[in-house]
Amino acid sequence: MAARKRNKERDRLATSLASSLGASLPDSGGSYEVSSAFVLPERRRFLGTWVIAEHTVEGLPYIDSFAASILRGASLAEPSYASLYDFREALCVKRVMIRGLVELPEGRAEFSYRMSAAVSWELERGFLVVRPELAYQSTSLDGKPAAVKELSFSGEPTRLAYRFERGGLLLEEGADLKFLTRGES
């Protein structure tokens, strides 16, 4: 029991020491690569369902940039945002749902947005590389469909830096930062 406690304390000390190294190590844009012997286990860490806990773009809540792009600047009152990632061996299914109240010339309306995408995914040099296979989005106003469309892709994969931290998964694509936690499908 005492030995286990000592080991725990030693590990805590080592982790704390390692954390303090950050200021001394140069920032050369490198990343962490696990041994090729453990790549499969690394991939396994992704499997299952994750939900968005935090999502920012350039430090601001994602919902703000969403309103700027999809609603062309109209504000979204009382917004709710949920996003789910279901990682399977070959594919990851992503679902996004955003709701809120939008001001229109004819008055306030309930707005909802849904997006579903199936992407193939790989781990490569410390990056999560995703290739969209199929995706569509739909919007509705006051419960009535406003637009449905299949999304087109450039064919280029998207590379997201990732790391597991705070018991969750951090995904980074430029200024877009997502922190996912384990969820139920």
Partner 1 sequence: MSASLKSLGLGIVAVANQKGGVGKTTTVIQLASGLARGGARVLAVDGDPQGNLSLFFGRAEGRDLSDLMGELLDGRVPGIDGYLASKVREGLDLLPATHRRLRRERSDADMLRAAPAFASLLAGLRERYDWILVDCSPSNGALERMLVRACEAVIVPLEFQLFSVAGLQSMLDDVNACTAEAGHGIRVHSLVFTKAENRVARVESYREVFSAFRIPIFEVCRSEYIPRSLERSRTIWESGPSSYAARDYARIIERVFLE
Closest distance of CB 90 from partner 1, Å: 23
29 scored as a contact of partner 1 (CB under 8 A): yes
C-alpha radius of gyration, the chain, whole number = 20
Of the candidate spans 25-33, 59-67, 149-157, 176-184, the one that interacts with partner 1 by CB under 8 A turns out to be 25-33
Touching partner 1, residues 96-155 (CB under 8 A): 125
Pick one of 32, 73, 143, 155: the residue that binds partner 1 (CB under 8 A).
Answer: 32
Choice between 33 and 142, CB closer to partner 1: 33
Of the candidate spans 7-15, 67-75, 97-105, 131-139, the one that interacts with partner 1 by CB under 8 A turns out to be 7-15
Choice between 136 and 164, CB closer to partner 1: 164
Give first-to-last CA distance, the chain, whole Å: 39
Compute the distance between CA of residue 81 and CA of residue 96 in angstroms, rounded to an integer: 8
| Nearest CA-CA partner of 85 in 168, 155, 14 | 168
Compute the distance between CA of residue 10 and CA of residue 20 in angstroms, rounded to an integer: 15
Give the burial string for 26-52 (b: 16+ CB within 10 Å, else e). Answer: eeeeeeeeeeeeeeeebeeebeeebbb
The contact pattern for partner 1, residues 150-169, with x = CB under 8 A and - = no contact, is -------------xxx----
35 scored as a contact of partner 1 (CB under 8 A): yes
What are the φ and ψ backbone dihedral angles of 174, each rounded to 5 degrees? Answer: 60, -125
Touching partner 1, residues 40-69 (CB under 8 A): 41
| Nearest CA-CA partner of 75 in 86, 95, 89, 61 | 61
Closest distance of CB 167 from partner 1, Å: 10
Contact positions toward partner 1, by CB under 8 A?
Answer: 10-11, 13-15, 17-22, 24-38, 41, 125, 163-165
